[in-house]
Chains A and B, each alone.
Chain A
């Protein structure tokens, strides 16, 4: 009785009209008949796609900068932040003459995300100090083999002829939130590491 919303159930005798059952059937049939003329709530999926929410979290992308160099420096913060432990990477040092490929002197030689482990929480994106990894609104394709779900750099790195716009996920609010959160988060991660 805290909310005053509880109702006592009354089980009264049905009236003759209710007992006949037919009026109820007819009104039900009128409802279903009306629905025939309503616009379908579903879409013809592969041809017609529903609009995704602007911050939908799907397939990851490893961004390149404007000149086409990979932003990722293989710092491993995304892998540490990942609650599903889906991300693994191997770091390598940039050789002279590879400046157009990698933005900084360290880069990810191998970068793999297991899409079966990934829960698409977006913490990797939040952890990334280099604005390198983002979640996009594309869906992960269905596959028949488990190995095929381990996405390497070939599938993750943004293609130059098919740049992906992630500005929706880089709003001022997000940037500010990231900035204030980032130091705290990094410190926390560091503290956790040293504790072990």
Chain B
């Protein structure tokens, strides 16, 4: 029992540090990618190739003056960014990082917690995440922040439905809500994206909206709302909001890779002749590559597409993605019925 708890604690610490490191270097990556796409050089002053830039940014964030507006509700004002950060980190718990292995005569699974409703768990945690933004925007007592918070909440509601329905089709196909099982099913099989291309597309678009990334970054659009929900925030509280966005991006990439792209599974891994820890390490590396690709995709899209207008955003969510997701469910059901899965 003690070893079990110890292993889980180490894993939690590892996932925590991984999420923070990846998020920190995503900020660097974001700036570099945007620079390359705009024919610029990007940050290259702090350390070789600017690799210490996240550290410098962190020091800057921590040492800046902390401002709490006198007209704000102080406790809620502090609660907002804390909640955003907390929920962002919590979602990483159910992701399987590599296949289970035998180590010292013990079954070790690289998943902090194999909840049998893992997908539902992620959904609930991510939807709590919007409370951080809402509370922060409300407590600031600033009209721009309030507008940003309002936009964030209605955007979340609109896109969560389409996202959930996209997942329903996948769950129908997999027959389980556990992430570990969904990933295990894809071992030696085609990836889920082959069976659910439309579902994947809807899920991807909704993931962009859920993480408040461009072209769905209306809650924080600098040009219209001078920062949206974090207008009044300064110092590390602002840092937590920005950081939470990058952690969300990391977790979404991990979830997309697990659900639709085979998670930690290597292509043709039964022919590689690897077992035990080596296989697990390689699986983790491959999974990480998939995650990095999706984070790059997030950035790629952000620096390509302009922001939606607000009515276009809601139009897309309710009138296009939602019917498409329902259509996807019906088609999936029909195909399964035709193949005799439902009897």
In the assembled complex, the Cα of A29 lies from the Cα of B304 at a distance in Å of 6
Tell me if B36 is interfacial: C-beta within 8 Å of chain A. yes
A105: min CB distance to chain B, Å = 54
- CB of B39 within 8 A of CB of A42, answer yes
A31–B300 Cα distance when bound, in Å, is: 11
Query: Is the beta-carbon distance between B301 and A35 smaller than 8 angstroms?
Result: no
Q: A35, B38: Cβ atoms under 8 Å?
A: yes
Interface of B (DSSP majority class): loop
Check if A190 is an interface residue, CB within 8 A of chain B.
Answer: no
Task: Decide if A40 touches B37 in the complex (CB within 8 Å).
Answer: no
Whether A97 is near chain B, meaning CB under 8 Å from some CB there, is no
The residue on A at minimum CB distance from B35 is: A40
- What string of 1s and 0s marks CB contacts (under 8 Å) between A25-57 and chain B? 100110111011011111110000000000000
* Residues in B neighbouring A39, C-beta threshold 8 A: 39
CB distance from B155 to the nearest CB of A (A): 18
Min distance, Cβ A20 to any Cβ of chain B, angstroms: 10
**What are the residues of chain B within 8 A of A28 when measuring CB–CB?**
304-305
- On chain B, the residues within 8 Å of A40 by CB distance are 35-36, 39-41
- CB-defined contacts of A38 to chain B, threshold 8 Å: 39
Q: Which of A25, A32, A41, A43 contacts B37 (CB 8 A)?
A: A32
Interface residue B25 (Cβ < 8 Å from any Cβ of A)? no
Task: Please give, as numbers and ranges, the residues of chain B lying within 8 Å of A25 by CB-CB distance.
Answer: 301, 304-305
Which residues of A are found within 8 Å of B286, using beta-carbon distances? none
Question: Are B300 and A41 closer than 8 Å at their CB atoms?
Answer: no
A100 → chain B, closest Cβ, in Å? 47
Chain A residue with minimal CB distance to B205? Answer: A22
Q: Can you give 20 contacting A-B residue pairs, CB < 8 Å?
A: A25-B304, A25-B305, A29-B301, A29-B304, A31-B304, A32-B37, A32-B300, A32-B303, A33-B300, A35-B37, A35-B38, A36-B36, A36-B37, A38-B39, A40-B39, A42-B39, A42-B40, A42-B41, A43-B41, A44-B41
- Residues of A in contact with B (beta carbons under 8 Å apart): 25, 28-29, 31-33, 35-36, 38-44
Other 9 A-B pairs with CB < 8 A, given A38-B39, A39-B39: A25-B304, A28-B304, A32-B303, A33-B37, A36-B33, A36-B36, A42-B41, A43-B41, A44-B41
